[in-house]
Amino acid sequence: MLIAFDRDVTSEEVIARAVALGLERPRYEDALSFGVTYPDVQRDGPIVFLHDPWFGFFGRRDVICLWTNAGRRELGLEGFDDTWNRNYRFAFVARPRGSVEGDVRPREETG
């Protein structure tokens, strides 16, 4: 499920909204699977996957983001601790109980 906001938000606010909706945080594998399964969704705006962040350069905590640049689909890292503006959408997973694989269909919820 994709969650969008009409204001700037922090990762903590986004995660709290997802938990309230009964969703789970994605794993980085979910981001890769989503990009392969739904390649055109990122053309509508960047999609952030707030998985357990990796430590990047200079101690920045990074998460995967899918976006479009000059008509090309791209995958990169964004700062988990950054403030996210209204252009970003956030992917979370509705996993059936006991399931390893999740539902990554691109439905949107606006918060």
Q: Write the pLDDT tens digit of every residue in 22-81.
A: 999 999 999 999 999 999 999 999 999 999 999 987 899 999 999 999 989 999 999 999
Please give the pLDDT value at position 103.
Answer: 46
pTM given for the model: 0.83
Pairing, β 2-4 against β 89-91: antiparallel
Spatial strand order of the sheet with 89-91 comes to: 72-79, 61-69, 47-55, 89-91, 2-4, 108-110
98 pLDDT more than 60: no
The residue behind tokens 């981001």 is 31
